[in-house]
Amino acid sequence: MNKVELVNTLSAKTGQTKRASEEMLDAILDTIKDTVSDGDKVTLVGFGTFAMTERSARRGRNPRTGDAIDIPAKKVPRFVPGKDFKDAVA
């Protein structure tokens, strides 16, 4: 499912226009991105938790040449599914 299909489904389920559904979806996604990028986490009970984690610096290998390279530390987004979501998928 892509964003257009998601907006269409939201519109059908809520009775809102497609434009209103897209604005709501964009607002939700922007809020999650802003909150996680600020270092906080977003927990939607039953669905899951969006958070930021830090990967430490490490040594790696260039697959083409085999040379050792230094991979710097970085922050990455992470999603941990909730119990209800896991149960629905299983």
pLDDT of residue 16: 94
CB burial class (10 A; 0-12, 13-18, 19+) of residue 21?
buried
CB 83 within 8 A of CB 45: no
Band of residue 3 on the pLDDT scale cut at 50, 70, 90 = very high
Question: What average pLDDT is seen over the chain?
Answer: 95
Record the tokens describing residue 73, joined without a space. 């530390």
What are the extents of the domains in the chain? 1-38, 41-90
pLDDT of residue 45: 95
pLDDT, one tens digit per residue, over 24-61 is 999 999 999 999 999 999 999 999 999 999 999 999 99
Fold of the domain spanning 41-90: HU Protein; Chain A (4.10.520)
